[in-house]
Amino acid sequence: MEQPILDDAILRKYLLGDIPQEEQTRIEQRLLIDADFGEELSMTRTEMIDDYVADNLSSKEKEEFEKHFLSTPEHVQMIEIGRALNKRLEDLSRGSAIANSSVPGSYYIRHRNAIISLTACAILLVGAYVAWELVNHRRPNNEATEAQRQRAILENELVKLNHSATGSAQTPFPVVSLNLRPILVRDIGENRSVVIPENPSIVRLRLELPVDKYQSYRASLQTDEGVDLGAIDGLGETLNSGKVVVLDLPSWLLRPGSYQIKLTGVLTSGQSEDITQYPFEFTNQ
């Protein structure tokens, strides 16, 4: 059944917490099944954050925004980063205007890479905010719904981090790396733990391959008991400093505990084969 179109005003009210509970539930249910709607909501959220940073919200919207969005340190940090990005663009614009006042379009040409990088950072920031908001502020009706929601959120973030057109190298978040050998060849005493930073970060796992006969790879994040939390397909090998599969995880969706990555290889025939597991631990600072 075709989903009804929601105008921008309704989405803004939803983001400000100024909407009836029934309508809020309907929007959240749609987010789980409609990827295009999620992108539409993200765009509205981005515009609202930009409006706040630029002081373009009405007095009532600004009051609701500060009450609903800025009630946690994470949200405050998001706005501070947004302001920093805006200031950087303004500085670039002013510098270009002075140096190239007589050359139309020279600002974009000279600073194209910087603009693309900042835009990519902003997209990742919004994605992290959406995930944080859904994980921490929406209460499901039962455990099955919660598990389904958490898996959908995690897999969405995995795709953004590992299959982004801009690449995770341009992420505004710090990167924490951990090298992991296959469980069958692990060394006694090797480090298999990573500290989850207090601020949003990328946890980059470098999975050493025991064999390299596969066309692509599927990585499943599991508990140490083998319960699937989320998976991502289409990963490739990285040949720098050994043959490995690199998997980026979002720290804002991780909790302390014991986990493992189950790696599956896909042959050129399309057939899948289980390769091995990579156990590791997340700990607090």
Q: In this structure, what are the phi and psi dihedrals at residue 108, rounded to the nearest 5 degrees?
A: -65, -40
Integer angstrom CA distances of residue 69 from 27, 80, 130: 18, 13, 12
Q: State residue 5's pLDDT score.
A: 56
Q: State residue 52's pLDDT score.
A: 83
Q: State residue 139's pLDDT score.
A: 46
CA dist 73 and 76 (Å) reads: 5
Please give the chain's pLDDT, 285 residues, in tens.
Answer: 444 556 788 888 888 888 887 788 777 777 766 767 777 887 887 788 788 888 888 888 888 888 877 766 666 766 777 677 767 666 666 665 555 554 445 544 455 555 445 555 555 555 555 555 555 544 444 566 667 778 888 888 898 888 865 444 456 778 999 999 887 654 555 678 888 877 888 999 999 998 888 999 999 999 988 889 999 999 988 766 568 999 999 888 888 899 999 999 999 898 999 999 999 999 876
Domain 173-283 = CATH 2.60.40.2550: yes
Q: State residue 253's pLDDT score.
A: 86
Q: State residue 262's pLDDT score.
A: 95
CATH 2.60.40.2550 in the chain, residue ranges: 173-283
pTM beyond cutoff 0.85: no
Pick from 208, 205, 206: nearest CA to 243: 208
Among all chains, which residue has been given the structure tokens 């995770």? 168
Angle between the N-to-C axes of helices 112-137 and 143-162, in degrees from 0 to 180, rounded to the nearest 10? 170
Contacts of 272 (CB under 8 A, 6+ apart): 218, 264, 265, 266
Angle between the N-to-C axes of helices 112-137 and 73-99, in degrees from 0 to 180, rounded to the nearest 10? 170
